[in-house]
């Protein structure tokens, strides 16, 4: 299972958006975004905000990985 931070970084790259763009949308410093990329877990409220900003449901990604693991 990929860490959530890695999934977020991959989606940001896929959309060809910058770290600065995401930091502005999250109203935080770029260093905080880089910290998110390093995380294995993330608060669900933050993940919800990131999902909305990137228009990508990371909860589905995590759920799909769990289904694969336990099937």
Q: What is the CATH number of the domain that holds 27?
A: 1.10.260.40
Structure confidence at residue 1 (pLDDT):
78
Domain count, the chain: 1
> What is the span of the domain harbouring residue 48?
4-70
Q: Is the pTM of this model over 0.75?
A: yes
pLDDT tens track for 3-17: 999 999 999 999 999
Residues of the chain under the 70 pLDDT cut: none
Instruction: Give the CB-side neighbour count of residue 55, counting CA atoms within 13 A.
Output: 3
Residues 38/2, Cβ–Cβ less than 8 Å: no
What is the model's pLDDT at position 71? 85
The answer to whether 50 and 37 are in contact (CB under 8 A) is no
């Amino acid at each position: 299972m990929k860490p959530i931070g890695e999934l977020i970084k991959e989606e940001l790259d896929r959309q060809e958006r910058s770290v600065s763009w995401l930091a502005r949308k999250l109203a935080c410093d770029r260093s905080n975004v880089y910290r998110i990329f390093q995380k294995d877990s993330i608060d669900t409220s933050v993940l919800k905000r990131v999902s909305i900003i990137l228009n990508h449901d990371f909860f589905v990604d995590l759920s799909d990985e769990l289904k694969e693991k336990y099937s």
